[in-house]
Structure 1
Amino acid sequence: MIKSLRFLILAFILFSSPVFAQLQVDICENTVPKDWKANYGKLSLSTVHAKMGKQSVKWDWTDQNASIGIIDKDFAKVADDPRSTFVLWLYNEKPIADQLHFVFYEGTKATYKFDVNLAFTGWRTVWVMYHRDMIKLADGGVDKLEITAPASIKKGTLYFDQVLNYVNINPRSPMRDLQVPFVNLEGDKAANAHWNSLYQFNANPGYLPLEASVSEKQKKQFTQITNRYIKLIEGKKTVNEQKSLDSIKKEFAFWDIKRDKGNISGRVIYSVNDIELSGNEVLAKAKVANEKSNVKRYAQLMLAVARLHHQTKSQLIQSETAKMYLDLLDHMEDQGWSYGSGMGALHHLGYNLADYYNSCLLMKDVIKQSGKLDRTFKTMYWYSGLGRTLAEIDQLPVSNIDVFNTLLGSMLSSALILDDTPEKHRYLKHFSNWMSYNVKPNTEITGAFKPDGAVFHHGTLYPAYGVGGYTGLAPIIYVLSKTEFQIAADAHQSFKENMMMMHYYTNSTRWPISVSGRHPTGTWRIPDMPYAYMALSGSPDGKETIDKDMAAVYLLVTKSQQNAYAKRFLNAGIKPAIYPAMHWTLNFGLLDIHRRNDWLLTIKAHNRYIVSHESYPNANVFGRYFSYGQLEVLYPESQKDIASNFKDKGWDWNRIPGTTTLHVPLDLLRADIKNVDDYSGVEEMLLTDEPFAGGVHLNKQGVFAMKLKGHDKYKMGSFKATKSWFTFDSLVVALGSDISNHTKEYPTETTLFQNYLNDKSDVISINNKNIAGFPYTQNKSVTTVLDNRKIGYYIPAKQNVVVYKKNQTSRDQKDLQDTKGDFAGLYINHGQAPQKQAYEYAMLVAIDQAKLDAFAAQMKTNKAPYTVLQKDSIMHRVRYNLKNITGMAIFASNKNLNDQYVVNNSKPCLVMYEEQKDKLALAVVDPDLAFSDKEDDTPRNPDGTRKEVSVYSRDWFKTPSRPTVVTLTLNGLWKKLDGDNKDYTVEYTKDGKTLLTINCKYGLTTNMSLGK
């Protein structure tokens, strides 16, 4: 789970609304509210049921026409606030097959109404937005509410608590349930639908037939799956059971659960979302109260009780734990944590309720003996959203990392708690089919796993969330493996490939800062246990009982090779994985990956579909430039002094290596974080209107390029640059052109490196002269630099280069404290308001001074390792002379290209080719993922500048990437060689040229082998 989730939920609440919501008030601790009047009935205070404090308002009615009239000064706020919401808690002792009616008036004119279904027992809450969810009866405001009793019964009783006639809340939060099925209907299509669509999931009928019976073989598989899963959740054996029991009793006492005359009462079990109803002036107090008695703490106690009950052999302890557990279970149901209840809002419920489901499974026998198995299953089914698996395959909702991370085990527990019946078999088959569908590559921005191996969350490559997804999925895949409920082989294979890709872009356990999302700490690491579970699941084709690839990665990244998993894999003759020398391009994630020997090099971009960064309050506050071409080199953690260049101690957030940026004061770089629309939370995730960004690879080499454009939000609409990187073995050639903007106040810079110095005397070399002194600056005649991390830089003449060693003052990424640190850096200064400026430099990774000097000398001869053939607005083109490979980033369409082979193109694209004897190896990518068929759909402000909007609000967010066609014209007559792929066709023109029509999709490289 993301470490700062608790804070992020709080931040979400704090900033969700322009007007903070009012405090959850207790309406009835001393007297019935004076502005409440009952007709045909009686209002009184009752201590039998209470949601806040010790009492609630009891309404006994004696006629079908009975009603309550309520007057409140807060009603006056409703008319002018589009987010105004009505909230109440309602207790019902007996289910009623009818509705409670709410009608709001302005004077004698009815303006709004809604109904609440009463077929429940216990507490229920409703959050109903006036302007969106209620039925509008007439124009006007509100000054009175009338609550009318159900007409089908003459006498009845209901209890009210925490009635809020006006509260301003985030419109994404309220969710419909069996009581108010009309609330937030669009929520089923929203980015948080995986939390909020419980009502829709519950309505799915299921598409698989119910078998007449289950076989003995199937029963054995039920047992095998259950035993495997229980082994995962039962926890470590308690050494001192009595001590554990005493601790549990103390925690149980906190909840003050009591039974009296058939009723149960106890401390309120808050949803984490209840705090959304609290005002800013009491937020701290509300947060403390919520944390002390929230449902996560309650569920943790339930699991602790269940684990002790499961492991003990003491009948006395079993008896005590069974009684406590049933009290906990009944109190939870009475509090509203029951089938069909939405608790007002339940976003992020998977994080907070996870232990509840596992506890129920461990306590199945106790629950069944008490006659509450059916009730418990229904509640588990509802909150886990198991019903989502019952939709037809072609109608299955796209699931994201949150589901895999927090709900997968909960869904499985819900199915496993059933007796061994055809119904259980059917649920497990639905669950298996749903998993198979959802782990396959998804071609929308939403969803988790992409065709190129990227793992997505929040609309971007996000391995920090991917860890949670892998940690949730892999154990379940293992639990189901080698049974009829195992996931499909192709799904297994694609998930394995996605996990392998994370292995490729970590070194050896940590991934680049550029893909760290809102957590640029440098401490996040690849998880080891998912690889162990995938290894134990066997190979996707079922031929191997241990997947050797997964086991090898596990042995590489695990912290200990003395544990049971490591020993088992080593005893099977499996060795730790060795990284291949390879190049990968994740164009969904806009990440380029280049590996050689023990080092990893990555480059990160953004475009009109993929956000530049994610900033939250107190998280990555200075991350605006993270995808402006950030280039990182990671060595293994074992090389501690040079493993990474980054430390959040004086780090200059303006000078991120590889990027071209406007160097502004830190106060101007700080993100201005807002809740920009009803589709998003409180975050900054900016998009450009440039579609061109991406890469292509051929024979372990690659080209990556982007057209960079700043965002108008920060007056950077004129900020533009065309950037490219050509990665050949240990060499990177970096080019920039058309660097322009109108900002005269601050300089524009391209940063080559910014390295943390462990010691001020760490040496860098400039023009083969060692610099140990500190501080130091040189800005003239710089041709070669060897930094303190074994990376060399060759800089052609006539560029305004600055190299330095100095102490830097900054702010940490959370913007919580000042930081200081010693750094060495190298950048190119393009000046203020540059117009069509350019740059060129070469990097050589893992090099020494002698090799750098030799390289610089070669660059002055006719045996130069590389040649820049073109660098303008039409194309960046570089030839790698050592291997006869040419890379092309073509930014324009239908141009007469001045190239030996490629002379025309139908649209912007990336091309690489390798010249061989009478052959041409060719690779092509269309970097436009084509989610939208509109040339530009960027929302604009009245002055024409681009408006900040949420990526979730874009109509293409859930649209699949569309295949495209690129046509290239080649000099000469070329033919497709035998056995080459069928993703392109070959035609010939009358003037003796070859016309290639290439089918492109998903940003994947199309490789071709052509011959004369």
Structure 2
Amino acid sequence: MTTAFTICSVLLLAFTKLSVANSPIVFDFENTLPPFENSEGVDIKRSSIEAVHGHHSLSIQWNGKGGTLKLTHPIEASNQIIKQRKHAAVFHLWIFSDSPQNHQKLRFEFGRNGSNTPDAWFDYTLNFSGWRTMMVPFNRMQGTPPAQFDWMQIRTPNGKPGKVAIDLLLPSTQFDRRHPSHDQSYQFTKDDPHSRIREGKPLDLYHQSIRQIPNPPISPQQSHTLKLLEDTLEATLLKSNTSPNLQAIRNKYAQYQITIKPDGSVNGRHIFYLHTTDIYKGLEIEESIRLELQYDLKNTGKLLLQLAKAWHFYQANQSEKQELAEMIINLNKLLLKSGWHLGHGQGTLHHFGYSSREYYTAGFLTRVLLEKHHLRDKVARSLQWFNDAHYCFAPFASTHYANLDYFNTLAKPQLQAILMTHNEGERFYALKQWRTMLCATITNDRHGNNGGFKEDGTAFHHWGHYPAYETGALNALASLFRVFSQTELRLSEEAYRSFHKALLSMRVMSNLYSWPRSISGRHPYPQDGLKAIRSAFLDFAHAGNPDNTLTIDPDVASAALRLFPELKDELPQCSPESSPNGHWTFPYAHMNAHRRADWLALARGHSRYVWASEIYGPVNHYGRYQSHGTLEILPLDGLAGSGVSEDGWDWSRPPGATITHLPIDQLPFEKVIMMPTTEETFVGSTHLNNTNGLFAMRLREKVEQGNPNSGLHALKSYSFFDDTIICLGSAISGPSPSYPVETVLFQQALPDRKSHTQLNTSQITKFPYSETTNAPCEIIDIMGNYYFVPSQDALNIKRQTQKSRYHYPSRKGYPVSSTQGNPHTQGDYQVAYLNHGITPTNAKYHYSILVNPTKERANAFRNNSNIKILQHDDKAHVVQHKQSTTYALFTPHPPKAKSPILKISAPCLIMTHETDASLQLNLCDPDLRMPGNEGGMIPGEIFVKPGNGNEQATFSITLKGIYSLSQGDAAEISHTSDTTTLRCTTRRGRTLSWTLNK
């Protein structure tokens, strides 16, 4: 066979230089051809007819007798770890076909010099039209890939002649191994350990499939239900439709440079997917590719949604309506040509929901128009394919989709995609299945750190309770509850109750709109807080109560009116609730919330199962101590009112925490991603009839290799009695040879330097100011909270300017530092902390907080606190307040102090209230015993290993005296001549409660 060569010597020299430097190169065919060798029967040329980027592509045409197009070039095929993340070596290009080519396949082969036999290969089916891309990991190809190839070639098929165009050829680069997704044009093994796509239960959201859905005839009632749901959803989406700016819409549309071919097809700017372009990061072409993202799916979806709403707005004006219709149809055709069609995977689809919501809403709103132009089913199948709308038929879909991102970004678009289906029977059948799956997903409270809503009202994302992600999920789901509530397909009572608890729990753990920093994940300064879920409260209130006896849920409506009084006209005959008052425990987040009047006190810790914070490189870079037994007190005006400020915040001194006080450059972890955990399992809380409570934790930092400042240990507890919090610490030890261990009372930004700090009877206005006192003292913070510190503890008070760094790598108004680190900040603060010294052993502390009391209340507490510390050592913290007692029992030993408790079978938390005739006993086994084998895949992400014991545990407690069980949770009771033993089953950190009669 004769071989013809098409070689550009200038490019070859530059290409050789780049190869020596081992730098990936992208061939974009804009100026010349790469050094390809094309065999007889295979013709290549630069073409200006089609292009993904720029104005040219490479046209490849073959005569059907087989042939090759070869490129000699070093191709790296070994996977690498880049910034501590595992990457896969991938092959990438874009390919165009005018029309489906009768099951023809191109084979892509990779080999080494000295042999014409490929070491690895894959086939690519040409049953499509338009553009497609691929991101093919070498370790998922057929054959046995070596560490490096010397050449690649495209082998054309025997059979019929054919033609394709290719663009942006990238022979090899490194891509985050979790992200490449296959599609109907190329399939690979699913059990590859280097990919998330493997046999068995899926581990991500990107498994496209289109199923054959039954389409039986439906009854008139079912047809009515379907239409009612569609009309209600459409009315909701168009509720605030306003007069559009037509000229602005025309200008945006013109930027796509759409032209119509004689056959009715379109040319125009290629519409990328944002994360498809991640593959060009760090390459020379990246900057010009990024300019194309103004035409990506997200921006195109936004334009389509503007067009759709405008099209609905102009009902009477046929001229404008026709113009808008043409733009809508042409953009949809351009999307299909750009690869937004059934069967294509865009190379990667990670985080697809965030970029696609407007596209799906626009499709649903224009379904009638698309049908008129014979595009409805084609667009519907594309929409259903890309967000996997038919996955609801998979048996484990409800577990798979228990994910806050799913609720927020994919759930409603999946519904809209299903409602796009033209056939009414298929549409109704799929809708019923999807609704059943959604209900099961909302109620999926499986014990583990998987996503979704938990039984205690927490909401998991990234394997932990995450309010910052929960807000979007609550808004999206609440709107669906409201839409479905007006039809016979109303969501299930179980789904209502699960969502009801999650929504109302958010207002318990926040005040008024702020949630504490300890539960903010990698968003340590949350901005909108509960303001972001105003619509969730309103929509869910209007969805009715769980058992469908009321059209407006009174609990949700009253909560909504307390938070958002302006909703009064939309919730008539409802009254705002009083501020929540009581004590709530959240075992899955290792936190409790104590509320009186208008303030919130929230304690939080971390363990083997629950991470302390989420750190993503420079994002929340300094959040090491975010949940080191913190105690945050928030007044009605939230974080700002509590003294939290972004400027000058000392990340080493979160309130309540016991820490090693490190300078800011010592705080970051070595890993790029970090979700700090410990091997401890004793972290939790209990309550006494939801009025008062106890939080306790065994803090034991993991020892980090090469970090002498890690490995801190402490026992911490907070006993909550009405407006009083008793704070105890013991067995405190810290290995750092250079930095002291401290327990922080508070850190608060000063409104100005003239603001005074009250210490005992003195009002301190000096600035700067520093004092250490060992005498019994009393200090008042900016919220009016009193801190009483006994004499044995050295209290440090400072008024100072603090220099720090911002929690994010960039900030408006702050220049990015030229040295390593986030932008610098500074601010003026008052700080109070207990200094346990450098390398303390068996240190302890004790202080009390009286939250926002009157002077009379403070005087009464000072003179007669009614508080007794009965035990405070390395085995237990026991505190008595009048007739109530809290027991943080860190070991399986009974309390030393006079107590009705004689024996316990395991460490636990107990609260009692004793009268002459009865004993109220509440008990919590704080060990969550998560089954394990769940979590992240990147080093530093939380991963709970298996082997944590059974979810349920048998627990026994023996009491002095003879008691009968009056009421409470299930328990076996037995007696000796002078003792009573209760045996019970504990699980999931729940509080068990009994009333015992003497």
TM-score by length of 2: 0.90
Measured at CA, do residues 666 and 393 of structure 1 come closer, stay the same or move farther in structure 2, by a change above 3 Å?
Answer: closer
C-alpha deviations, 1:667-706, integer Å up to 9, x for none?
Answer: 11245452xxxxxxxx321221111111111131111111
**CA distance, structure 1, for counterparts of residue 450 and residue 474 of structure 2:** 17
Residues 1:885 and 2:872 aligned together: no
- 2:988 is matched with 1002
C-alpha deviations, 1:298-330, integer Å up to 9, x for none?
Answer: 111111111111110211111111111111001
| 1:887–1:913 CA contact under 8 A, matched in 2 | yes
Quote how far apart the aligned CAs of 1:729 are: 0.6
Quote how far apart the aligned CAs of 1:929 are: 1.1
Task: Write the letter of the residue equivalent to 2:475.
Answer: T
Measured at CA, do residues 140 and 779 of structure 1 come closer, stay the same or move farther in structure 2, by a change above 3 Å?
Answer: closer
Measured at CA, do residues 23 and 266 of structure 1 come closer, stay the same or move farther in structure 2, by a change above 3 Å?
Answer: farther
Structure 2 SS opposite 1:737? strand
Structure 2 SS opposite 1:280? coil
Match of residue 154, structure 2, among 144, 147, 150: 147
- 1:533 is matched with 539
**CA distance, structure 2, for counterparts of residue 230 and residue 65 of structure 1:** 53
Residues 1:187 and 2:216 aligned together: no
Task: Write the letter of the residue equivalent to 1:430.
Answer: Q
- 2:861 is matched with 855
Quote how far apart the aligned CAs of 1:589 are: 0.9
C-alpha deviations, 1:618-641, integer Å up to 9, x for none?
Answer: 42222111100121111112x99x
Measured at CA, do residues 605 and 138 of structure 1 come closer, stay the same or move farther in structure 2, by a change above 3 Å?
Answer: closer
Structure 2 SS opposite 1:877? strand
- 1:822 is matched with 828
C-alpha deviations, 1:278-310, integer Å up to 9, x for none?
Answer: 243658725741542221111111111111111
C-alpha deviations, 1:423-463, integer Å up to 9, x for none?
Answer: 11111111211111111152321111111111121111111
- 1:930 is matched with 929
Match of residue 979, structure 2, among 975, 980, 993: 993
Structure 2 SS opposite 1:744? coil
Task: Write the letter of the residue equivalent to 1:170.
Answer: D
Residues 1:84 and 2:75 aligned together: no
| 1:754–1:826 CA contact under 8 A, matched in 2 | yes
Measured at CA, do residues 398 and 1002 of structure 1 come closer, stay the same or move farther in structure 2, by a change above 3 Å?
Answer: farther
**CA distance, structure 1, for counterparts of residue 612 and residue 134 of structure 2:** 38
Q: Which runs of 5+ in 2 are unaligned?
A: 1-20, 810-821
Residues 1:633 and 2:624 aligned together: no
- 2:664 is matched with 666
- 1:701 is matched with 692
Task: Write the letter of the residue equivalent to 2:338.
Answer: Q
**CA distance, structure 2, for counterparts of residue 581 and residue 961 of structure 1:** 35
Quote how far apart the aligned CAs of 1:832 are: 0.6
Residues 1:137 and 2:135 aligned together: no
**CA distance, structure 1, for counterparts of residue 478 and residue 374 of structure 2:** 34
C-alpha deviations, 1:570-620, integer Å up to 9, x for none?
Answer: x3x211121232101111011210000111110111111111111224422
Between 1:783-792 and 1:758-767, the stretch displaced more is: 758-767
Task: Write the letter of the residue equivalent to 1:981.
Answer: D
- 1:10 is matched with none
Residues 1:113 and 2:113 aligned together: no
Structure 1 SS opposite 2:430? helix
Structure 1 SS opposite 2:528? coil
1:16-31 aligned within 5 A:
25-31=26-32
Percent of paired sites with the same residue: 27
**CA distance, structure 2, for counterparts of residue 584 and residue 191 of structure 1:** 38
Measured at CA, do residues 315 and 394 of structure 1 come closer, stay the same or move farther in structure 2, by a change above 3 Å?
Answer: closer
Quote how far apart the aligned CAs of 1:894 are: 5.7
**CA distance, structure 1, for counterparts of residue 924 and residue 352 of structure 2:** 41
Structure 2 SS opposite 1:142? strand
Structure 2 SS opposite 1:303? helix
Quote how far apart the aligned CAs of 1:50 are: 1.4
Between 1:368-377 and 1:229-238, the stretch displaced more is: 229-238
Quote how far apart the aligned CAs of 1:970 are: 2.1
Measured at CA, do residues 101 and 47 of structure 1 come closer, stay the same or move farther in structure 2, by a change above 3 Å?
Answer: same
Quote how far apart the aligned CAs of 1:228 are: 1.9
Structure 2 SS opposite 1:149? strand
1:845-924 aligned within 5 A:
845-858=851-864, 864-881=865-882, 884-893=883-892, 900-924=899-923
C-alpha deviations, 1:458-501, integer Å up to 9, x for none?
Answer: 11111111110011100011111132221101111121111000
Quote how far apart the aligned CAs of 1:933 are: 7.2
Residues 1:355 and 2:355 aligned together: no
Quote how far apart the aligned CAs of 1:543 are: 0.5
1:344-743 aligned within 5 A:
344-392=347-395, 396-419=399-422, 421-442=424-445, 443-526=447-530, 527-558=533-564, 561=566, 565-569=567-571, 571=572, 573-637=573-637, 643-674=641-672, 683-699=673-689, 700-713=691-704, 714-743=707-736
- 1:15 is matched with none
| 1:23–1:282 CA contact under 8 A, matched in 2 | no
Residues 1:757 and 2:750 aligned together: yes
C-alpha deviations, 1:765-785, integer Å up to 9, x for none?
Answer: 222222233332221224211
Structure 1 SS opposite 2:588? coil
Count of matched residue pairs: 947
1:773-792 aligned within 5 A:
773-780=766-773, 781-792=775-786
Q: Which runs of 5+ in 1 are unaligned?
A: 1-19, 675-682, 859-863, 940-946
Structure 2 SS opposite 1:230? helix
Between 1:272-281 and 1:694-703, the stretch displaced more is: 272-281
Quote how far apart the aligned CAs of 1:374 are: 1.2
Match of residue 166, structure 2, among 160, 163, 187: 160
**CA distance, structure 2, for counterparts of residue 249 and residue 21 of structure 1:** 46
Task: Write the letter of the residue equivalent to 1:909.
Answer: C
- 1:861 is matched with none
Quote how far apart the aligned CAs of 1:106 are: 1.8
Structure 1 SS opposite 2:95? strand
| 2:787–2:847 CA contact under 8 A, matched in 1 | yes
- 2:8 is matched with none
**CA distance, structure 1, for counterparts of residue 217 and residue 874 of structure 2:** 69
Measured at CA, do residues 843 and 551 of structure 1 come closer, stay the same or move farther in structure 2, by a change above 3 Å?
Answer: same
**CA distance, structure 2, for counterparts of residue 789 and residue 125 of structure 1:** 58
Task: Write the letter of the residue equivalent to 1:985.
Answer: E
**CA distance, structure 1, for counterparts of residue 679 and residue 236 of structure 2:** 47
**CA distance, structure 1, for counterparts of residue 26 and residue 932 of structure 2:** 50
Task: Write the letter of the residue equivalent to 1:187.
Answer: R
Measured at CA, do residues 600 and 255 of structure 1 come closer, stay the same or move farther in structure 2, by a change above 3 Å?
Answer: same
| 1:21–1:280 CA contact under 8 A, matched in 2 | no
- 2:817 is matched with none
Task: Write the letter of the residue equivalent to 2:568.
Answer: A
Measured at CA, do residues 232 and 25 of structure 1 come closer, stay the same or move farther in structure 2, by a change above 3 Å?
Answer: farther
**CA distance, structure 2, for counterparts of residue 283 and residue 673 of structure 1:** 30
TM-score by length of 1: 0.89
**CA distance, structure 1, for counterparts of residue 889 and residue 935 of structure 2:** 24
| 2:53–2:289 CA contact under 8 A, matched in 1 | no
**CA distance, structure 1, for counterparts of residue 860 and residue 89 of structure 2:** 71
**CA distance, structure 2, for counterparts of residue 36 and residue 591 of structure 1:** 66
Quote how far apart the aligned CAs of 1:393 are: 6.1
Task: Write the letter of the residue equivalent to 2:141.
Answer: M
- 1:270 is matched with 272
| 1:621–1:814 CA contact under 8 A, matched in 2 | yes
**CA distance, structure 2, for counterparts of residue 873 and residue 685 of structure 1:** 28
| 2:297–2:359 CA contact under 8 A, matched in 1 | no
C-alpha deviations, 1:917-954, integer Å up to 9, x for none?
Answer: 332211111211111479xx999xxxxxxx99343554
Residues 1:247 and 2:235 aligned together: no
C-alpha deviations, 1:626-665, integer Å up to 9, x for none?
Answer: 100121111112x99x732211122111111100111111
Between 1:107-116 and 1:420-429, the stretch displaced more is: 107-116
Measured at CA, do residues 658 and 877 of structure 1 come closer, stay the same or move farther in structure 2, by a change above 3 Å?
Answer: same
| 1:275–1:286 CA contact under 8 A, matched in 2 | no
Measured at CA, do residues 79 and 871 of structure 1 come closer, stay the same or move farther in structure 2, by a change above 3 Å?
Answer: closer
Structure 1 SS opposite 2:303? helix
**CA distance, structure 1, for counterparts of residue 450 and residue 390 of structure 2:** 20
